[in-house]
């Protein structure tokens, strides 16, 4: 069954591109923080926002970026909360890929 969530699909594809193109270094932090801030504002109708999956992939694939975001986060902030999520990497990757596969092909 295909899911039509164009804003989410666009964000997930952007995250995929960032994972490939941005290095795991301090200069990438601003890009990921901006992405996370915008991503958490997305409203979906048919699927739960895969925030846990995004943060788990970031934690394992870009550990330097993740660590900097975590260390710069204030207690109680959005980034503090999101960087303290603990989830299995293999499950996160599987869930992320499954959601992306279920998305309708139409993207703006």
Task: Kindly state whether residue 66 falls inside one of the protein's structural domains.
Answer: yes
* Each residue's pLDDT tens digit, 88-98: 999 999 999 99
Structural domain boundaries, residue 72: 26-102
Task: Kindly state whether residue 83 falls inside one of the protein's structural domains.
Answer: yes
Task: Kindly state whether residue 65 falls inside one of the protein's structural domains.
Answer: yes
Task: Kindly state whether residue 9 falls inside one of the protein's structural domains.
Answer: no
As for how many domains the chain has, the answer is: 1
* Each residue's pLDDT tens digit, 62-73: 999 999 999 999
For residues 99 and 50, the answer to whether their CB atoms sit within 8 Å is yes
Task: Kindly state whether residue 94 falls inside one of the protein's structural domains.
Answer: yes
Task: Kindly state whether residue 55 falls inside one of the protein's structural domains.
Answer: yes
Task: Kindly state whether residue 21 falls inside one of the protein's structural domains.
Answer: no
Confidence band (pLDDT; 50, 70, 90) for 2? Answer: confident
The predicted model scores a pTM of 0.90
Instruction: Report the alpha-carbon distance of residue 37 to residue 61 in Å, rounded.
Output: 19
* Each residue's pLDDT tens digit, 8-58: 999 999 999 999 999 999 999 999 999 999 999 999 998 899 999 999 999
- H helices, E strands: number in the chain: 6, 0
pLDDT value of residue 36 = 97
């Amino acid at each position: 069954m295909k899911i039509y969530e164009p804003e989410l699909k666009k964000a997930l594809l952007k995250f995929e591109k960032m994972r490939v193109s941005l290095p795991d270094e301090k200069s990438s932090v601003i890009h990921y923080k901006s992405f996370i801030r915008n991503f958490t504002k997305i409203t979906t109708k048919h699927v739960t926002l895969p925030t846990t999956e995004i943060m788990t992939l970031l934690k394992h694939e870009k550990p330097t970026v993740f660590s900097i975001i975590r260390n710069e986060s204030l207690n109680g902030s959005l980034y503090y909360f999101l960087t303290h999520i603990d989830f299995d990497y293999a499950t996160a990757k599987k869930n992320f890929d499954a959601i992306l596969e279920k998305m309708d092909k139409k993207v703006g």
